Amino acid sequence: MTQVRVGTTLILFLLFLAALPVPWGSAHAQQADQAALRSEVDARAEEVREKVVAWRRDLHAHPELGNREFRTAGIIAEHLRSLGMEVQTEVAHTGVVGVLRGGRPGPVVAFRADMDALPVTEMVDLPFASKATTEYNGQEVGVMHACGHDNHMAILMGVAEVLAGMRERLPGTVKFIFQPAEEGAPPGEEGGASLMVQEGVLENPRPDAIFGLHVMPQHTGFIGYRAEGAMASSQTLRITVRGRQTHGAMPWGGVDPVVVSAQIVMGLQTVVSRQSDITQAPAVVTIASIHGGLRSNIIPDSVVMVGTVRTLDLDMQGRIEERIRRTVAGIAESAGATAEVSLSRGLPITYNDPDLTRRMAPTLERVAGPGKASPSPPTTGAEDFSYYQREIPGLYFFLGVIPDSVPLQQAYPNHSPYFFADEAALPLGVRALAHLAVDFLAG
């Protein structure tokens, strides 16, 4: 009887194994293969370290504004072609897209790096500091990678070389998107992520997910990520107040749009501070420019105010817009004036897919090391990476580039002429993106 019981138990166990979706023991083989891929990523990332630094310095020394990244695009396209990729150029004016098809079947993953610089004169004392100048809005200006896009490009070029060297072992396809005009297209032109999407950058093949990073004034070695709203939507607010022109010495003879505008500016401060639940999400309403009048003794007919609205929650965005319109109209009417409010569509919220973020956060934490990667607060800055995230799941995270010797309160922010990125952060950026690719493709 004992032998019969043992035989029956063994048969049932073998039937159970046969019912499993993968052969018994294959999970161990997959784990071993994944470990080997990760080890190879780290080794190859170390091999390209000096190249990444050299690319970053060259791109930093030769910055170009949005939709004018001609030299930059040429360097990137040549590099991707040298790696044997399918390369498409002149996407959304100067964008470059490379496709790396792995040797094994699998999903498609995309990575994006932005290419454009800013009309900022560099004040950092570096041997590769930008000396470039150009005309912008009718003025001669300096040009600088003051937002760190030179780092983003160099990192992704490094990732491309790392993964291209492993192509036969990659289970899927990797798409490298180098995007122009993230800071905005020149007046009268289209550009940036929205135009890239319009021109089919997310098709043929269509990625299952997209990743991107941004260097930020955090200490080197730190990676910050956040599920859902990570960066704010950005809307341009324009208010035109119309009164009735009169002599400055006889204000009762007309309706003063200057005083009404001042009241509107103060009233708008209550939209966030008194009318919005900021425990739900941060928000900003800023008036940054006011224009009206020509002479000291003439009260003008109208005043124009321009500002920005930043929100991290779609419902709150709608409520704030409604309250802005109500506040402006009520104040204007109380003084006998009228006011027109326009809010541009602007950039959407940079929304990290919650499931994708949860799935890939362990990768970021493993690559950064203990205590070096963690959820970070949202930022009211905006990013057009959000246009990709409206189409497919995306994860956008932050890479610290401030040396430990510099207190964070003394670090210069992005867009400053003194912004400086520590090159010691570049290898971590390469490893983070490359590991995300390998881990996502392997499932």
pLDDT of residue 397: 98
Residue 4 pLDDT exceeds 80: no
Interatomic CA distance for residues 324 and 319, integer angstroms: 9
Q: Indicate the burial class of 343 (C-beta count within 10 angstroms; 0-12, 13-18, 19 or more).
A: middle
Please list, in sequence order, all residues whose beta carbon lies within 8 angstroms of the beta carbon of residue 395, skipping any fewer than 6 positions away. Answer: 209, 210, 211, 212, 225, 352, 353, 356, 357, 360, 436
Arithmetic mean of pLDDT over the chain: 94
Residue 89 pLDDT exceeds 80: yes
Is-catalytic flag, 182? Answer: yes
The model's confidence at residue 88, banded by pLDDT at 50, 70 and 90, is: very high
pLDDT of residue 23: 54
Catalogue the E-assigned strands of 243-379.
246-247, 283-291, 298-299, 302-311, 338-343, 350-352, 373-375
Give the pLDDT confidence of 257-274 residue by residue, as tens digits. 999 999 999 999 999 999
The model's confidence at residue 2, banded by pLDDT at 50, 70 and 90, is: very low
**Phi and psi of 267, rounded to 5°?**
-65, -35
Of the ranges 23-27, 52-56, 224-228, 290-294, which one carries the lowest mean pLDDT score? 23-27
Of the ranges 28-37, 161-170, 219-228, 321-330, which one carries the lowest mean pLDDT score? 28-37
Residue 7 pLDDT exceeds 60: no
232 in Cβ contact with 380 (< 8 Å): yes
- Give me the mean pLDDT over the 164-192 stretch: 96
Is-catalytic flag, 122? Answer: no
The model's confidence at residue 5, banded by pLDDT at 50, 70 and 90, is: low
**Tokens linked to 303:** 């005043």
For residue 294, the surrounding DSSP H or E stretch is none
Interatomic CA distance for residues 92 and 13, integer angstroms: 59
Give the pLDDT confidence of 297-330 residue by residue, as tens digits. 999 999 999 999 999 998 999 999 999 999 999 9
**DSSP type of residue 301:** S
Interatomic CA distance for residues 272 and 282, integer angstroms: 9
CA angle centred on 69, ends 423 and 48, rounded to 5°: 35
Q: How does strand 95-101 pair with strand 373-375?
A: unpaired
Give percent of the chain above pLDDT 70: 94
Domains 27-232+349-442 and 233-343 equal at CATH topology level: no
240 in Cβ contact with 304 (< 8 Å): yes
Give the pLDDT confidence of 317-369 residue by residue, as tens digits. 999 999 999 999 999 999 999 999 999 988 999 999 999 999 999 999 999 99
Interatomic CA distance for residues 443 and 426, integer angstroms: 26
Q: Where are the alpha helices (DSSP H) in 173-293?
A: 192-198, 257-273
Q: Where are the domains of the chain?
A: 27-232+349-442, 233-343
pLDDT of residue 3: 47
CA angle centred on 117, ends 111 and 121, rounded to 5°: 155
Predicted structure pTM score: 0.89
The model's confidence at residue 15, banded by pLDDT at 50, 70 and 90, is: low
Q: Which residue has the tokens 């409520």?
A: 319
216 in Cβ contact with 224 (< 8 Å): yes
Partner residues linked to 233 by β-bridges:
311
- Give me the mean pLDDT over the 286-304 stretch: 97
The model's confidence at residue 178, banded by pLDDT at 50, 70 and 90, is: very high
Interatomic CA distance for residues 185 and 320, integer angstroms: 27
Chosen CATH of 233-343 out of 3.30.70.360, 3.40.50.300, 3.20.20.60, 2.40.160.40:
3.30.70.360
- Percentage helix, strand, coil, to 5, in the chain? 40, 25, 35
Give the pLDDT confidence of 126-138 residue by residue, as tens digits. 999 999 999 998 8
Does 27-232+349-442 carry CATH code 3.40.630.10? Answer: yes
Considering the candidates 64, 69, 161, 182, report the single residue annotated as catalytic: 182
pLDDT of residue 429: 98
pLDDT of residue 137: 85
Considering the candidates 64, 69, 114, 116, report the single residue annotated as catalytic: 116
